[in-house]
Chain A
């Protein structure tokens, strides 16, 4: 075995440049795939992360009959005395924060211009609102007692030409199916760098939101963040009750998870195509090496080397080539990915509203992707080596010695 490796190594060294370029082809292929995988992972990871932080949390507690698609405000669809429920949940050890939220639909209007929005009533003091508080661009954050302040997103402010301190009209639906309109003052403008969310989401203090929607002491949901995402199921089981439903982030983000699965399926086809191209470059190199060494193979065969051993020799060569290419590819790939992990990949606003996608994607290379792609490249390179190796093994020694084909 050592002998075989030594021979293969020397053989590759005989035409160093050619071996280098073949390994480089593999390296470029692998690096490209690593970048691709880390991009998808980064995109999807950020979608899930963003959705969790901004919208779904790790867990939500809702009334049994609450239907998310309707944003109903009927009392029987809401949680009564939500602050108390939230406090109870927050007292559990794994829970980082639990806070009530109230959802309503509305339209913001200034002059004759209108824009549909989603109104969220929040407890301004809760830590769960950190993304909005930290993303404050101008003005101030809401306070619990604020009766006329509203927090709006940057894209909405820009579209409607609103600054902090400006007035706007907000119409929202109420618990009795009616619509109420009131004037608000833009208290602050926030940005989460997630156009799809910021454009349509406005915030009111919970008490004010309850007042305008006539929902009294009710909330649509308890938004819960955990200290550790892995404990989701355990906590869900702990707080399950007969009077309400408990939803995990997986329940709420089914679309995202499906999209991710689908994307992974498509991307695997892409991986295989890239590797097929890489493989053909390697096949060619080895086929040429076999031709070049026809005479030598004849000598080896006449010295009593079996076809299988000759095959093993060439396969070892492709194995070594694969190892070299993979090492190079990992270095290149990790460096390129590291750059984009640090500085991100600006994609701008693609008008995505169904998913929460940030305007910049930071690549994220997981161990799983790295190992998978490395193994995949190795296997495909070995498979590519099979054909030339078989060609070499099948050579007739007499013909081969003459240098014929």
Chain B
């Protein structure tokens, strides 16, 4: 086998120019894919990175039945929220575990009205981990004994034309299906540079939420902040046996549509990439057809030395595959260069943040990753397509009768 590799490898470089052109084509195709893969990861990170901070944690614990209705934020109290907090705090990965109440409501003033998510938080406990708390631009953050005050985003404040000290009517539903309407004073405004998101998220203190929505001493969610992203799975595994009957989800579960969008786009990209690689594959095919023709006599010699037709075919398939793989190396170099630059510069996405709920979490620019996440599969695809492209020339080479090939000058 080493002989075949040696022959195939050296044959590639007999006509450097030709080979280099095809390698460039393959490399360009692969680099394009790496760029795309990198972009998807960057997109994910841009959203998830902020999602964790905005959602208030890497993991959320809810009462049973919540998951199915998550987008309607039902007021399902946790059976024993203190026990959940205690269980979470025993784990070394956990930085904070805080109780919350989430519900939908309407924020209205004379100027207009907006459907919002109202989140009741424990102000002191969240002060360190809540991103909104750390980005106050006017007034102040909530405190535990605040009543009738509300902490809103700059996006909403601008849209409603309100400032600190102004009053907003907050309408929601209580646990007992009664409408709860309360006029509250804006105590502070936070700015995350994500206006579309800020329009939808307002904070009140947990105690206020408890009394507003008839959840005396209760909460609907425990948000758990971890030391780093990526520990979610292990923490969920550790919590499951301790907290039977609770629904424990990582932050990703909040964006089912994002996963679908990415999957659906990746599917299109996969088809697209296969077609592009096939075009480059035709380059390999043509190159090898030419090589078979040029090396007719040499193929005859190999035959005279006792190589079987199959083995001669193998030689060309190896050659094609190797060209593809060198193309992969070229592609990796190109791809790393492109992504390396974009990692520093970033891509402007601010125009599109309003398009979906999840893109609202992107604060301006997207920074792609190196794009090596799917490299193994991409490389394999290149190798397979290159090998397939080599089949026709390889077959042709094996059909040569050595007696005739040797006559060929």
Contact = CB atoms under 8 A, between A and B. Distances in A.
| Direct contact between A and B judged by beta carbons closer than 8 A | yes
Interface of A: 17-18, 21-22, 24-25, 28-29, 32, 36, 67, 69-74, 104-107, 109, 111-117, 159-160, 169, 171-173, 176-179, 181, 255, 258-259, 262, 270, 273-274, 276-278, 280-281, 283-285, 287-288, 292, 347-355
A201 to B, nearest CB: 12
B171 A171 contact: yes
8 contacts: A18-B290, A32-B276, A115-B72, A169-B179, A273-B32, A281-B22, A284-B283, A354-B352
Nearest to B348: A262
Given A18-B286, A71-B112, A177-B169, A281 B25 contact: yes
B115 to A, nearest CB: 2
Nearest to A346: B264
Interface string B53-86: 0000000000000000101111110000000000
Interface in B269-312: 272, 275-276, 278-280, 282-283, 285-287, 289-290
A183 to B, nearest CB: 11
B278 A160 contact: no
Interface string B21-32: 110110011001
Interface of B: 17-18, 21-22, 24-25, 28-29, 32, 69, 71-76, 103-106, 108-116, 159-161, 169, 171-177, 179, 181, 196, 255-258, 260-261, 264, 272, 275-276, 278-280, 282-283, 285-287, 289-290, 351-352, 354-359
A171 B356 contact: no
Given A111-B74, A350-B356, A281 B114 contact: no
A7 B162 CA distance: 79
Contacts of B29: 277
A197 to B, nearest CB: 13
B264 A29 contact: no
Contact of B160 (A32, A70, A113, A114): A70
Given A117-B115, A351-B356, A352-B355, A28 B278 contact: yes
Nearest to B196: A354
A277 B272 CA distance: 13
B145 to A, nearest CB: 27
B130 to A, nearest CB: 23
Contacts of A17: 289
A395 to B, nearest CB: 15
Nearest to B260: A348
Nearest to B103: A114
Contact of B264 (A106, A159, A350): A350
Given A112-B173, A280-B24, 18 more contacts: A69-B112, A70-B161, A71-B113, A105-B112, A107-B105, A107-B173, A112-B74, A112-B174, A113-B74, A169-B179, A173-B106, A274-B276, A287-B18, A348-B260, A349-B257, A350-B260, A351-B256, A351-B258
Contact of B115 (A24, A107, A352): A107
Contacts of B173: 107, 109, 112-114, 169
Nearest to B111: A70
A302 B72 CA distance: 84
B22 A280 contact: yes
A105 B351 contact: no
Contacts of B160: 70
A114 B73 contact: yes
Contacts of B73: 113-114
Contacts of B276: 32, 274, 277
B356 A106 contact: no
B62 to A, nearest CB: 14
Contact of A69 (B22, B159, B279): B159
Contacts of B272: 32, 36
B110 A284 contact: no
Nearest to A29: B279
Identify the 10 closest CB pairs spanning chains A and B, nearest first: A116-B115, A351-B257, A70-B112, A173-B113, A114-B104, A177-B110, A113-B72, A350-B261, A354-B355, A105-B113
B179 A181 contact: yes
B350 to A, nearest CB: 11
Given A114-B72, A287-B21, A106 B115 contact: yes
A281 B352 CA distance: 37
A159 B115 CA distance: 17
Nearest to B285: A21
A113 B65 CA distance: 12
Nearest to B291: A288
Contact of B22 (A172, A273, A278, A284): A284
Contacts of A274: 276, 279
Contacts of A106: 106, 113, 115
A159 B69 CA distance: 7
A288 B287 contact: yes
Nearest to B36: A270
Contact of B287 (A112, A270, A284, A292): A284
B70 to A, nearest CB: 10
Contact of A70 (B159, B177, B257, B289): B159
Contact of B275 (A32, A113, A349): A32
A284 B286 contact: yes
A27 to B, nearest CB: 9
Given A107-B105, A179-B106, A284-B287, A348 B112 contact: no
Contact of B108 (A109, A112, A177, A283): A177
Given A28-B278, A113-B72, A114-B172, A177 B109 contact: yes
Nearest to A281: B283
Nearest to B175: A112
Contacts of B110: 74, 176-177
A22 B264 contact: no
Nearest to A26: B279
Contact of A281 (B159, B171, B286): B286
A62 B179 CA distance: 32
Given A21-B282, A284-B22, A171 B264 contact: no
A173 B107 CA distance: 9
A283 B22 CA distance: 9
A233 B257 CA distance: 38
Given A70-B160, A255-B354, A24 B105 contact: no
Given A70-B160, A277-B279, A111 B21 contact: no
A178 B183 CA distance: 10
B279 A105 contact: no
Contacts of A172: 113
Contacts of B355: 259, 352-355
A283 B106 contact: no
Given A70-B159, A288-B18, A116 B116 contact: yes
A371 B322 CA distance: 38
A367 B191 CA distance: 47
Given A71-B113, A72-B112, A107-B115, A116 B257 contact: no
Given A179-B171, A262-B351, A25 B358 contact: no
A349 B356 CA distance: 11
A112 B260 CA distance: 28
Contacts of B287: 284, 288
A104 B173 CA distance: 19
